[in-house]
């Protein structure tokens, strides 16, 4: 599977109509990947869906899956999402017992391995190990609910990651998730992000294809 070049726009189906999921997946066929938020009501105070639902999304989606696991014990569960066929599986560094071993296992199955950090979590421990991951997700809101406001104070983490990737030669995607829309995507792109999760900004637009194209153009214009 050849994955798209940066900048990548990954709409979050957390903002889709769960009863009309296939319709909404088709409405974002012009995006790069579909962002699938898995929440367990334990690691975060919200409950979405698990492997069975993700497997159905995988079977019907016109674009690859970018699965974001906001769950406890990802060491046990994350490989299952790779086996379903997700293109990318991201787990939280705060929840994993051994992030590097887990990332290697996900890669061995055939998916890209991502690691996420909450707004208050430092990315410094990851900087010397970026080559072990295919993606680092900097949360720009507290994880758990869609529709929150973008947190600009998280941008220095992206700068750190971008500089470390350049220094080490790591080929790693830098993703942001939370409050991303036309007014904020430029700031994230300037800081170093190349992969952007947008939920309500996409699904709440009258012209979804136009909004995806707008976000992509804005990110490209502000790339570092």
Q: Is residue 2 part of a domain?
A: no
Calpha distance 157→27 (Å, rounded):
33
Which residues are marked as active site?
A: 37, 177
Q: In CATH, what number is assigned to the domain containing residue 24?
A: 3.20.20.70
Q: Is residue 1 part of a domain?
A: no
pLDDT of the chain, 224 residues: tens digit per residue = 678 899 999 999 999 999 999 999 999 999 999 999 999 999 999 999 999 999 999 999 999 999 999 999 999 999 999 999 999 999 999 999 999 999 999 999 999 999 999 999 999 999 999 999 999 999 999 988 777 899 999 999 999 999 999 999 999 999 999 999 999 999 999 999 999 999 999 999 999 999 999 999 999 999 86
> To 10 degrees, the CA torsion angle through 47, 50, 54, 55?
-160
What's the pTM? 0.96
For the chain, the domain total comes to 1
Q: Is residue 60 part of a domain?
A: yes
The residue segments making up the domain with residue 165 are 8-221
């Amino acid at each position: 599977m050849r994955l798209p070049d940066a900048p990548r726009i990954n709409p979050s189906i957390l903002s889709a109509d769960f009863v009309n999921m296939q319709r909404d997946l088709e409405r974002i066929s012009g995006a790069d990947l579909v962002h699938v938020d898995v929440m367990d009501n334990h690691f975060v105070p919200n409950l979405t869906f698990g492997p069975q639902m993700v497997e159905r999304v995988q079977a019907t989606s016109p674009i690859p899956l970018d699965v974001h696991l906001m769950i406890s014990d990802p060491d046990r569960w994350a490989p299952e999402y790779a086996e379903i066929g997700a293109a990318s599986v991201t787990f939280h560094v705060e929840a994993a017992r051994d992030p590097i071993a887990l990332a290697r296992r996900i890669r061995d199955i055939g998916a890209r391995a991502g690691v996420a950090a909450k707004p208050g979590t430092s990315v410094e421990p990851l900087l010397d190990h970026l080559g072990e991951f295919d993606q680092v997700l900097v949360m720009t809101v507290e994880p758990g609910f869609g529709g929150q406001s973008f947190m600009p104070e998280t941008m220095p983490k992206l700068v750190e990651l971008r500089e470390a990737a350049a220094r080490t030669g790591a080929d790693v995607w830098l993703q942001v998730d939370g409050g991303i829309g036309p007014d904020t995507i430029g700031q994230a792109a300037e800081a170093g992000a190349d992969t952007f999760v947008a939920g309500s900004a996409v699904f709440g637009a009258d012209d979804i294809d136009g909004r995806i194209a707008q976000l992509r153009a804005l990110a490209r214009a502000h790339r570092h």
